[in-house]
Amino acid sequence: MTEDIKLYFFQTGRIRQREVNIKLGGGQGEFYTPIPWFLITHPRGNVVIDGGIAVEAALDPVGHWGDVANVYFPVMEPEDGCVNRLKEAGFDPDDVKFVIHSHLHLDHTGACGNFPNAKHIVQRREYEYAHTADWFAAGGYIMKDIKKPGIKWELLDDEDAFDLYGDGVIQLYQSPGHSPGHQSIMVRLPNSGSVLLVIDAAYTFDHWEDKCLPGFLTSAVETAASVKKLRRLAERENAMVVTGHDPDAWPSFRKAPEFYD
Ligand SMILES: [Zn+2]
């Protein structure tokens, strides 16, 4: 059944912000970043990773996000919502068994409340921090998304290298620093080999290659340590590295309905 394992790259539009919000010490010019999310098909059940931006933010950016929309503005259409894009690619939202959240920032909670049969997996530290965030980080968590009714949460208690199906195909590695409970996802595919979804542990290859720090983080020390750890993981299994919001690298990847298998 391994021929059923495939990785699809999707996008819910872009966010417009200033360069300094992405690259610490950067300029005040406008900077657009893609908002990726992913689907993994697996014989034991399909898995959505993050789901991008909630569709409500396309309909009413300031109403749904509040003041943070003055800093990070969602440039997306309602059709970009993850459920619509998933259906367009031929998938049934009812078949999604798990949603994995790298973390719970506003551009990673698009799946919340949209997949009735899915368990939502997140690190407990992230879930708790979303509810108790410091003043400088609180704007990044939209509680209207996280508290949607009917979400079945499965909280990982400080677990590293959590193997979703026990077969090594989808393995979650703690990578804090961008947020306290951030995790990155290694996907091991039958033909394409390993793909490391770094997510926001490194927005761009500038962060991945230690050229600059990201424009948002909760701990610079943890951010640097997580990149070091993930680079070692990627090197060990020669993984294809996918950075989180990288306007230069993102166009080079295959997008749904194309896939990696
Ligand atoms: Zn984030």
Q: How far is the CA of 26 from the centre of ligand 1 (A)?
A: 18
Q: How far is the CA of 11 from the centre of ligand 1 (A)?
A: 15
Q: How far is the CA of 248 from the centre of ligand 1 (A)?
A: 18
Q: How far is the CA of 105 from the centre of ligand 1 (A)?
A: 5
CA torsion angle 112 146 105 88 (round to 10): 10
Domain for residue 225, yes or no? yes
Where in the sequence is the domain holding 238, given as residue range(s)? 2-252
Q: Scan for tokens 């983080």, then name that residue.
A: 217
Domain for residue 231, yes or no? yes
Q: How far is the CA of 232 from the centre of ligand 1 (A)?
A: 22
Q: How far is the CA of 2 from the centre of ligand 1 (A)?
A: 32
Q: How far is the CA of 255 from the centre of ligand 1 (A)?
A: 21
Q: How far is the CA of 166 from the centre of ligand 1 (A)?
A: 27
pLDDT in tens for each of the 261 residues of the chain? 445 999 999 999 999 999 999 999 999 999 999 999 999 999 999 999 999 999 999 999 999 999 999 999 999 999 999 999 999 999 999 999 999 999 999 999 999 999 999 999 999 999 999 999 999 999 999 999 999 999 999 999 989 999 999 999 999 999 999 999 999 999 999 999 999 999 999 999 999 999 999 999 999 999 999 999 999 999 999 999 999 999 999 999 999 999 999
Domain for residue 22, yes or no? yes
Domain for residue 93, yes or no? yes
Number of folded domains that form the chain: 1
Q: How far is the CA of 1 from the centre of ligand 1 (A)?
A: 34
Domain for residue 16, yes or no? yes
Three-class secondary structure assignment of 42-106: CCCCEEEECCCCCCHHHHCHHHHHHHHHHCCEEECCHHHCHHHHHHHCCCCHHHEEEEECCCCCC
Domain for residue 259, yes or no? no
Q: How far is the CA of 261 from the centre of ligand 1 (A)?
A: 27
Domain for residue 70, yes or no? yes
Q: How far is the CA of 3 from the centre of ligand 1 (A)?
A: 32
Q: For residue 173, what is the domain's CATH number?
A: 3.60.15.10
